[in-house]
Structure 1
Amino acid sequence: MQLHISPSMRHVTVFPGKGVREFIKFKVTSRRLSYKMVIYSLLFMTFLLRFIFVLTAMDTIEGETQCSSLGCIGKRLGPRMWRRPDSASVTVPEEIYRVLEGAEPDEPTAGSDVPQTLEEFIEEMKSDRTDAKTFALRLRAMVSLLDQKTRVAKIQEYLYRHVASSSIPKPLHCLALRLAQEHSTNVGARHQLPAPERVPALVDPELYHFVLASDNVLAAAVVAASLVANALLPGSVVLHVITDRKTYAPMQAWFSLHPLAPAVVEVKALHHFDWFTRGRVPVMEAMEKDRAARSHFRGGSSAIVANVSEKPIIVAAKLQALSPKYHCVMNHIRIHLPELFPSLNKVVFLDDDVVVQADLSPLWDIDLQGKVNGAVETCRGADKFVMSKRLKHYLNFSHPLISKNFQPDECAWAYGMNVFDLEAWRKTNISVTYYHWLQKNLESDLSLWQLGTLPPGLIAFHGHVHVIDPYWHMLGLGYQENTTVEDAEKAAVIHFNGRAKPWLDIAFPEIRPLWAKYLNLSDKLIRACNIRA
């Protein structure tokens, strides 16, 4: 830009650029015009022109649908300055609120003229051009109908899942029958477990002792196979399998026909323990009382589903209470580990729905610092759905017995893979506390905690738990369908807690192979019972 001022100060000429003929000429009528005023005016005009050009270009590029630059300020503020209503600030008519907050109308039925879908509702509103009140009434009727359908569908889903998870699949029943037949006809299926020369290992405190309580032969077989396959020193592994009387023959037949040498495997039924057959057994008495109480207060599945006043999640909890696993002695027997194994000082207890993916011998090097139970906390972790459990999620803090003895925000821990210091346990009254609170729960009409074996365990072991690294125990594979295979493969033990057990058809197909890979699908018994991966 060039600036030319005539000697008489009557003309000021501005050339926009070199070689440009067009120019701007100012005629000054007075000699009193200062040089500074002219220069400042020209600079201001130049800046203003460039600013307008840039804003116009940006507004053109962004278009009217994406108005985010300063060039759109006028478009945004214009309606407000001129008191024009903006489409985004239009409020819902009060008439709609009055209708939606009014008294509950009669529940619509599927055969009524209520729109069944959102598309039908929109089409009806377009064709009738109704007022706000009619719009709200029709909207409320449609939402009520859809809510009713959703509730029925959720309850049906919970009922079907309850039936699927509580029933014994035909392949598992077939396997148990064939193994029982092998036990009665095949001498090789009745071998003494362990072999006589390995019996001293059962009480050797220098070895790694694992306890597995189960009445599911297939599940126990996978736990045992995965444990031994991933052990760095399989010859130092001693697995104590505890089962009930009816499953003892099939369980012994399986491990007799499928030895896991050099590991030591012992199979015993509850009636083989001297302690269990000597007089009254608290666990059996507690189970009988619990079964009678559940039958009285809960009723059958038909009565639970027929209750239309309860939320689906409450219905699901009551259906889960009918699960046979809550009446199974295998779920309560862990509270008597010190009596069952009087010669051992430390054991690792495994549930039958876990898979071992790493060597577990380092668990014996963990210093429990005088505590009894080494367990993984369930209130911290990346998976907020699984790892967000505190005592308030299991115990009923509206009951005075619970609220005055425990803190609701205290972190919970998990069963499934626990390190138990039996020597420290024998110095406590944990087992007595366990049955004391079971009795209190029965006297309170089963209102002290959610149904299951973990809540009384949380109470009995309160103050006796040492937190271990979550690497050792990953939970939720039986109900968290968002668990990735990559994350599951990083854990030492994965736990299929929940309804979707890996041996059921409702298991999550993405993570089921982590369990199925420890099945020998070429085994004649597995093939005969049509057990598939």
Structure 2
Amino acid sequence: MKAQPLLPAAFKRRRGPRVAVLALVLCSLLVPFAFLFDRAPSGYVTTEERHRQEVVLPSLDHVEKRGSPGAISGRRQDAPEKKIPRGSAGAIHQHVPEKRISKGSEGVIHQHKQIDSHSTSGGAKPKVLPTPKVEPSKAVAESTRETREISKDIQGRQKGAKADEVEKAKACQLEFGSYCLWSIEHKEVMKDSIVKRLKDQLFVARSYYPSIAKLQGHEALTQEMKQNIQEHERVLSVSTVDADLPSFINKRMEQMERTIARSKSCTVDCKNVDRKLRQILDMTEDEAHFHMKQSAFLYNLGAQTLQKSHHCLNMRLTLEYFKSYSLDSDDSLSGKFNNPKYMHYVILSKNVLAASVVINSTVSSCKEPDNLAFHILTDAQNFYAMKHWFARNSYKNAVIHVINYEAIILEKLPKYNILQLYLPEEFRVLIRSIKQPTENTRMEYLSLFSHSHFLIPEIFKYLNKVVLLDDDVVVQRDLSFLWNIDMGDKVNGAVKFCGLKLGQMRNVLGKAAYDPKSCAWMSGVNLINLDKWREHNVTENYLLLMKKFKFKDERSLRAAAFPLSLLSFQHLIYPLDEKLTLAGLGYDYGIDEEVARRASSLHYNGNMKPWLELGIPDYKKYWRRFLVRGDRFMDECNVNP
């Protein structure tokens, strides 16, 4: 009876191996299912993986002909067979490559996946063919031929583009999206490429020079490199654009290339070269940071150049005009506008307040305001605001004629293509000393006539003489004496600016004939003899010169006003007294207040106009004196310059 418990104990002892056997059987059944679920669909690659995936070409010893399993797996047939999971990226990188390409050849990857899917799809085992023996040179040729066949359709779409350029374009699209391709298609031609190449050569030469100078037996190379660096510095100190470069610059660049090549062939301390290049990199980063800050400031400047209060004033005046007047109203003083006996002033402006200050200051400074007639040329957008403003405000007994420039050109002068009103153009000029190019550099704002100025004789056919005033001018003295000046055969009475000669602007003036010793001149206050203008055919000569300049866009058209104004009035400038106009109040902080008070007129040329928040505070008071106060619309729009 005591031996009966032995049976359950034995049964318990045999239960452990049975459980282990059942567990092994269950695992053996689950392993194939796990292997099947682990396999991804063939030919499917997620978007995130495309940016990071890299295709590695095997070395020449492992190159197999396409179509064999060995070529797909990247190993030889005689090697021991080893199973690699399809999704294992590390398995691809086990064969260390000698050459890499980026994930740009999408067609190559897709075809590899198709072959792999055919070889693994279905239950049939693929037939393994013997690997043909291929020479390394033949393998390279075979691989190149296959790559060309794959990119053949891409080359057709790119109209004969090279294969490497197509691959770069596809890699560009995969890495950065369609914007990258757009930037390549719309890439602009780099301006002044020779100057930029000179700077690159200078950077490289400077990085190698300290290391070459320390080497023994390379004194000739050191002297040659030093001389080339000095010559490059001398050329770049006087040349900022390709047009300023001398004719022998190509020889200098070739000499520098040979010198740099010889320097690279020498055994130098790489740490010194690396340190110098890092210094240049730091300087470039600092410069880029500076330009980023400058662009932010200029963006703020652009936002403040058109204030909401000024826009509000124009809109309110326009609305009030249509509420108060009829469009076909006649001016009873229209007879004075064509009478040559009056002193006629012409102003081109789109700013109501600026034009008002110019007229108010001129009238307030004149002893006989009854003889003054003002003609304001403005665009269609500001025409009704201007008209209503000067109808509401009187300026003693002076008459004011507001003209819609765009309408008068379309109605009376349709043969001219200058339909848009262009205000006087201002150009920032950097002037360097010829003796000391790197020192004594100063900046000037040169104001000149725009394209619209050349149509003034056609618009005012019944007048003989006018005075042109810019809308950023404040008149402090009586200008009636200008009508008593006999300019002889000259056309344009202007203040000359001999700090800039025409010979210094050969890159801007082009191949036109000009006197290099002639001085530039400035607009602001200009006495124009319209009879002599018509006699010398200034407008026709201007149109002929205009055809020689190529205009790509609006910006280049406006920039052409610089050479056209200087060349059109060459030998036709009558020099006025320099005390007539004091320029620079829109950018120069160093003007003495006593000099400003004694000047006959003040010209706020520059970016800091007196009606803007950016205006120089010390000079704003001369402009504010003649500003109309107490106007209802100014108070409602919070206009307080």
Alignment-derived partner of residue 62 in structure 2: none
Which amino acid counterpart does residue 317 of structure 2 have in structure 1?
L
Q: CA deviation at 1:528?
A: 1.8
Confirm or deny that 1:232 pairs with 2:353: no
Confirm or deny that 1:280 pairs with 2:415: yes
Change (3 A) 1:455 1:182: same
Change (3 A) 1:462 1:97: farther
Q: Deviations over 1:455-491 (max 9, x none)?
A: 3111111111111101112222222222232222222
Specify which of 432, 448, 457 is matched with residue 565 of structure 2: 457
1:276 and 1:221 map into 2 onto residues whose CA distance is 27
1:360 and 1:274 map into 2 onto residues whose CA distance is 30
Confirm or deny that 1:408 pairs with 2:533: no
Confirm or deny that 1:375 pairs with 2:500: no
Confirm or deny that 1:481 pairs with 2:589: yes
Change (3 A) 1:174 1:464: same
Contact 1:521/1:531, CA 8 A, preserved across alignment: no
Alignment-derived partner of residue 389 in structure 1: 500
Q: How does 1:37-436 map to 2 (within 5 A)?
A: 141=278, 145-146=282-283, 148-154=285-291, 156-157=293-294, 160-161=297-298, 164-165=301-302, 167-187=305-325, 195-196=331-332, 198-271=333-406, 273=408, 276-284=411-419, 331-379=450-498, 388-392=499-503, 394-396=505-507, 399=510, 401-402=511-512, 405-436=513-544
Specify which of 512, 516, 526 is matched with residue 634 of structure 2: 526
Contact 1:371/1:424, CA 8 A, preserved across alignment: yes
Between 352-361 and 436-445, report the one with greater CA deviation.
436-445
2:293 and 2:478 map into 1 onto residues whose CA distance is 42
Q: Deviations over 1:410-431 (max 9, x none)?
A: 2100112110000111101211
2:311 and 2:420 map into 1 onto residues whose CA distance is 28
Q: CA deviation at 1:510?
A: 1.6
1:442 and 1:454 map into 2 onto residues whose CA distance is 14
Alignment-derived partner of residue 15 in structure 1: none
Contact 1:165/1:499, CA 8 A, preserved across alignment: no
Gaps of 5+ in 1: 1-93, 105-132, 288-315, 380-387
2:292 and 2:460 map into 1 onto residues whose CA distance is 44
Change (3 A) 1:285 1:518: closer
Q: CA deviation at 1:221?
A: 1.1
Q: CA deviation at 1:351?
A: 1.1
Higher-helix-fraction structure: 2
Gaps of 5+ in 2: 1-208, 215-221, 230-269, 423-442
2:349 and 2:402 map into 1 onto residues whose CA distance is 11
Change (3 A) 1:261 1:439: same
Which amino acid counterpart does residue 462 of structure 1 have in structure 2?
Q
Contact 1:390/1:410, CA 8 A, preserved across alignment: yes
Q: CA deviation at 1:191?
A: 11
Q: 3-state SS of the aligned residue for 1:252?
A: helix
Q: Deviations over 1:245-275 (max 9, x none)?
A: 1111000010011111311111111255378
1:175 and 1:285 map into 2 onto residues whose CA distance is 23
TM-score for both structures, normalised by structure 1: 0.60
1:410 and 1:433 map into 2 onto residues whose CA distance is 19
Q: CA deviation at 1:190?
A: 8.0
Q: 3-state SS of the aligned residue for 1:426?
A: helix
Change (3 A) 1:345 1:278: closer
Change (3 A) 1:357 1:484: same
Change (3 A) 1:266 1:139: same
Contact 1:353/1:495, CA 8 A, preserved across alignment: yes
Which amino acid counterpart does residue 310 of structure 2 have in structure 1?
L
Question: What is the total number of aligned residue pairs between the two structures?
Answer: 362
Q: Deviations over 1:472-521 (max 9, x none)?
A: 12222222222232222222121111221222222212212221222134
Contact 1:394/1:449, CA 8 A, preserved across alignment: no
Change (3 A) 1:439 1:158: farther
Alignment-derived partner of residue 37 in structure 2: none
1:476 and 1:270 map into 2 onto residues whose CA distance is 28
Change (3 A) 1:205 1:447: closer
Contact 1:204/1:344, CA 8 A, preserved across alignment: yes
Which amino acid counterpart does residue 168 of structure 1 have in structure 2?
L
Structure 1 runs of 4+ with >4 Å offset? 94-104, 133-144, 189-193, 392-395, 443-450
Q: 3-state SS of the aligned residue for 1:179?
A: helix
Change (3 A) 1:342 1:446: closer
1:503 and 1:207 map into 2 onto residues whose CA distance is 30
Which amino acid counterpart does residue 566 of structure 2 have in structure 1?
L
TM-score for both structures, normalised by structure 2: 0.50
Contact 1:354/1:494, CA 8 A, preserved across alignment: yes
Contact 1:521/1:532, CA 8 A, preserved across alignment: no
Change (3 A) 1:443 1:260: closer
